[in-house]
């Protein structure tokens, strides 16, 4: 099955899923894996969590053995990061209950009108006004400094090691499944040397361009409402949630990214951007609207009265009225943009032309042609100009964009080699691989896909390949190891099917296997069943595939040997030695020519 890839931006599907093999592979960005890897990537989970997630989804009980130290139990760094971040979150929550936390942190939240329930829902906390509160407590609980630093919780320099967050209220940032991956923190003292908001740095689990604050708490509501409110600050999110408006998220610590928009797109195709009532800020963030259009989502925008932001306004008028306000005042992006600029334009025709260009630019970003034409019509009415002018202008923009895209240089896969080899069927090629390694790769591919297939009554693909390549040493380390492992299993009398390598503890075996058994296009059975058209498959030409692969591999290998031999010859001092190397070169070249003839190359 093919689909548009959930991991990268694309318009034509290159993401393939094979339910029978239990694997996925993107021929565009190269992401590949099995069911567990998929959950890890898409939900941002560690290995154990992904297992637990799947267990929960399918009602399979999973028992994890308890260990005294949680970090020991963690299988990888990601897992340890989640654990230490969770520890920090609990520490900050506790600190909010201390007398300092109460007096400073909690009173700030109360001032903002946050209820105890909402504080608990967002797991808000406080960091004490000392240098090493978290550091000390973490060390007492056997978390080491390296891990704390990797999690972005402490800062280490030559002179000292100290907490990143001090004397601030803490907003934990959760991933979609609700695990804490970072913190946003607001300072409460007046200190000119400190930023008002401080965020965790990027870590192994926190990539801010792919994270939306509040999405974990909002996702269900976004799905139900089929709309997502996008706001600017943490407090906007919390306040709206408290007022019963739950489909709300904020881009945390960055301007909106396409990763974040895609994330919303998984839950709803409609986004309403809620802007603070300040014109300068809005104009600066209009780029966000264009990006939403580019992702083929529908965008509306609302501005609040002068001096109000979503947080203050919802407090003033309450949740119900707030929803009504949005309903009455939200505008589609053209009307929004036009009205925003129209006030400055007055009767200036040049400025009007600029505005038209600006809006045409936005409309051209919409991938859907029908939607585009609807917007062109609307724009024409609104700005009182001829629709065909707009369309012509829009087409120009689109064409320039397409031209730019097609001019991008293509990767040269084969390199400057003297022989043209046919492209291998349905397999995407890694870039960092030379022609010899390419042939080694093809050997492994044949073994994985067709190892037990018969070439004639007695010969299978694997016996043939091992006979032919008995004394050939693979150059690529992974293929060499896979080849050796395959051979070992065969010698044990076990046939290692692709499954064996998919479950192998060596992660690169697994990755390579997924790539090598994924086929970009499979011929539908309908061709044969309904239309009686037989499309030859690889299986029908196995003999040729195996035979020519072996020859090509030998040809490439000999090329390498000639190169090595030649280098040694140049280094040789004694004349006898040189003659010896020359003889070898002669022999190698003869063999090379013979193989070339068999390959049907003009020699
Ligand atoms: Zn992809």
Distance 420 CA to ligand 1 centre (A): 29
Distance 17 CA to ligand 1 centre (A): 12
Residue 245 has pLDDT above 90, yes or no: yes
The side-by-side arrangement of strands in the sheet containing 331-332 is 212-213, 248-251, 228-231, 270-275, 298-303, 331-332
Distance 471 CA to ligand 1 centre (A): 39
Decide the pairing of beta strands 228-231 and 270-275. parallel
Distance 12 CA to ligand 1 centre (A): 11
Distance 49 CA to ligand 1 centre (A): 23
Distance 3 CA to ligand 1 centre (A): 10
Distance 4 CA to ligand 1 centre (A): 8
Distance 258 CA to ligand 1 centre (A): 14
Distance 7 CA to ligand 1 centre (A): 5
Distance 507 CA to ligand 1 centre (A): 20
C-beta separation of 331 from 301 below 8 A: yes
Q: Extract the tokens encoding 382.
A: 């609104």
How many residues comprise the chain? Answer: 603
Query: CA 335, 341, 342 angle in degrees (round to 5)?
Result: 80
Residue 424 has pLDDT above 60, yes or no: no
Residue 250 has pLDDT above 70, yes or no: yes
CA 481 to chain CA mean position, Å: 29
Neighbours of 29 (CB within 10 A): 13
As a whole number of angstroms, the distance between CA 141 and CA 121 comes to: 26
pLDDT at 195: 87
pLDDT at 154: 96
- pLDDT tens-place string over residues 376-401: 888 888 888 888 888 888 888 888 87
Distance 412 CA to ligand 1 centre (A): 20
Query: CA 227, 230, 231 angle in degrees (round to 5)?
Result: 145
Distance 6 CA to ligand 1 centre (A): 7
Distance 376 CA to ligand 1 centre (A): 32
- pLDDT tens-place string over residues 265-310: 888 889 999 987 776 667 767 888 888 998 889 999 998 888 888 9
As a whole number of angstroms, the distance between CA 4 and CA 345 comes to: 42
3-state secondary structure 212-236: EECHHHHHHHHHHHCCEEEECCHHH
Work out the average pLDDT over 423-435. Answer: 49
Residue 413 has pLDDT above 50, yes or no: no
C-beta separation of 304 from 276 below 8 A: yes
Distance 37 CA to ligand 1 centre (A): 14
Range with the poorest average pLDDT among 115-124, 238-247, 248-257:
248-257
Distance 31 CA to ligand 1 centre (A): 6
Residue 418 has pLDDT above 50, yes or no: no
Reported pTM: 0.61
Distance 11 CA to ligand 1 centre (A): 11
Contacts of 383 (CB under 8 A, 6+ apart): 338, 352, 355, 356, 359
Residue 169 has pLDDT above 60, yes or no: yes
Distance 8 CA to ligand 1 centre (A): 5
pLDDT at 272: 94
Range with the poorest average pLDDT among 1-5, 69-73, 293-297, 334-338:
69-73
The kind and range of the H/E element at 595 are: helix 575-598
As a whole number of angstroms, the distance between CA 345 and CA 349 comes to: 8
- pLDDT tens-place string over residues 110-163: 999 999 999 999 999 999 999 999 999 999 999 999 999 999 999 998 889 999
As a whole number of angstroms, the distance between CA 429 and CA 84 comes to: 39
As a whole number of angstroms, the distance between CA 466 and CA 388 comes to: 68
As a whole number of angstroms, the distance between CA 20 and CA 4 comes to: 20
- pLDDT tens-place string over residues 528-556: 777 666 666 777 788 888 888 898 899 98
- pLDDT tens-place string over residues 215-234: 999 988 898 888 999 998 89
Distance 10 CA to ligand 1 centre (A): 8
Distance 210 CA to ligand 1 centre (A): 15
Work out the average pLDDT over 452-470. Answer: 87
pLDDT level of residue 425 (50, 70, 90 thresholds): very low
User: For the chain, what is the mean pLDDT?
Assistant: 84
Residue 423 has pLDDT above 50, yes or no: no
Distance 385 CA to ligand 1 centre (A): 41
pLDDT at 603: 53
- Top mean-pLDDT range of 65-74, 150-159, 344-353: 150-159
Work out the average pLDDT over 518-528. Answer: 67
Residue 72 has pLDDT above 60, yes or no: no
Distance 291 CA to ligand 1 centre (A): 19
DSSP character at residue 197: E
Distance 498 CA to ligand 1 centre (A): 23
C-beta separation of 171 from 213 below 8 A: yes
Distance 427 CA to ligand 1 centre (A): 15
Distance 268 CA to ligand 1 centre (A): 21
Residue 412 has pLDDT above 70, yes or no: no
Contacts of 324 (CB under 8 A, 6+ apart): none
Decide the pairing of beta strands 168-174 and 125-127. antiparallel
Half-sphere exposure for 175 (CA within 13 Å, toward CB): 20
C-beta separation of 443 from 472 below 8 A: no
pLDDT at 125: 97
Half-sphere exposure for 442 (CA within 13 Å, toward CB): 26
Q: Extract the tokens encoding 128.
A: 């004490």
pLDDT at 486: 92
Contacts 24+ apart (CB under 8 A), 497-500: 497/448, 497/451, 497/452, 498/21, 498/448, 498/449
Half-sphere exposure for 257 (CA within 13 Å, toward CB): 15
Percent of the chain's residues with pLDDT above 70: 88
Name the percent of the chain in helix, strand, coil, to the closest 5.
Answer: 55, 10, 35
């Amino acid at each position: 099955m093919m689909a548009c890839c959930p991991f990268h931006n694309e318009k034509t599907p290159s993401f393939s899923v094979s339910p029978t093999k239990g694997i996925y592979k993107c021929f565009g960005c190269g992401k590949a894996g099995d069911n567990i890897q998929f959950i890890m990537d898409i939900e941002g989970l560690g290995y154990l969590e992904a297992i637990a997630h799947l267990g929960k989804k399918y009602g399979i009980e999973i028992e994890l053995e308890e260990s005294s130290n949680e970090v020991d139990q963690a299988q990888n760094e990601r897992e340890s990061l989640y654990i230490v971040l969770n520890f920090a979150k609990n520490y900050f929550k506790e600190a909010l209950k201390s007398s300092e936390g109460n007096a400073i942190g909690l009173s700030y939240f109360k001032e903002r009108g946050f209820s105890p329930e909402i504080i608990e829902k967002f797991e808000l906390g406080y960091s004490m006004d000392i240098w090493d509160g978290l550091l000390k407590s973490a060390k007492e609980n056997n978390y080491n400094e390296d891990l704390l630093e990797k999690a972005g919780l402490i800062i280490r320099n030559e002179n000292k090691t100290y907490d990143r967050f001090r004397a601030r209220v803490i907003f934990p940032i959760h991933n979609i499944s609700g695990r804490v991956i970072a913190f946003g923190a607001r300072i409460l003292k007046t200190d000119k040397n400190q930023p008002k908001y401080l965020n965790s740095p990027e870590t192994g689990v926190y990539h801010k361009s792919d994270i939306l604050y509040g999405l974990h708490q909002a996702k269900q509501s976004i799905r139900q409402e089929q709309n997502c409110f996008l706001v600017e600050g943490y407090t906007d999110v919390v306040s709206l949630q408290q007022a019963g408006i739950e489909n709300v998220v904020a881009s945390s610590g960055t301007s909106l990214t396409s990763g974040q928009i895609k994330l919303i797109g998984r839950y709803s195709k409609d986004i309403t951007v809620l802007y603070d009532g300040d014109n300068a800020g809005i104009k600066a963030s209009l780029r966000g609207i264009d990006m939403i259009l580019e992702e083929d989502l529908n965008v509306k925008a609302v501005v609040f009265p002068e001096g109000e932001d979503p947080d203050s306004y919802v407090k003033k008028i309450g949740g119900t009225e707030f929803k009504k306000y949005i309903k009455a005042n939200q505008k589609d992006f053209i009307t929004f943009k036009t009205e925003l600029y129209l006030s400055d334009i007055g009767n200036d025709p040049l400025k009007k032309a600029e505005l038209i260009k600006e809006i045409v630019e936005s409309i051209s970003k919409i991938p859907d042609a029908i939607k585009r034409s609807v917007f062109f019509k609307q724009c024409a009415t609104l700005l009182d100009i001829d629709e065909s002018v707009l369309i012509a202008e829009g087409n120009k923009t689109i064409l320039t964009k397409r031209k730019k895209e097609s001019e991008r240089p293509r990767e040269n896969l084969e390199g400057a080699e003297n022989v043209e080899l046919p492209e291998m069927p349905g397999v995407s090629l890694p870039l960092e691989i030379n022609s010899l390694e390419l042939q080694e790769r093809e050997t492994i591919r044949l073994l994985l896909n067709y190892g037990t297939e018969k070439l004639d009554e007695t010969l299978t693909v694997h016996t043939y390949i091992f006979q032919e390549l008995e004394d050939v040493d693979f150059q690529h380390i992974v293929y060499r190891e896979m080849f050796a492992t395959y051979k070992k299993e065969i010698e044990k009398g076990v046939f290692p099917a692709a499954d064996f390598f998919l479950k192998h503890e060596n992660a690169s075996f697994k990755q390579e296997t997924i790539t090598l058994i994924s086929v970009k296009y499979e011929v539908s059975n309908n061709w044969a069943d309904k239309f009686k058209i037989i499309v030859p498959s690889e299986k029908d030409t196995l003999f040729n595939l195996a035979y020519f692969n072996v020859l090509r591999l030998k040809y490439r290998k000999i090329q390498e040997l000639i190169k090595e031999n030649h280098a040694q010859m140049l280094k040789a001092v004694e004349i006898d030695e040189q003659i010896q190397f020359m003889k070898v070169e002669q022999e190698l070249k003869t063999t090379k020519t013979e193989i070339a003839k068999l390959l049907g190359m003009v020699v």
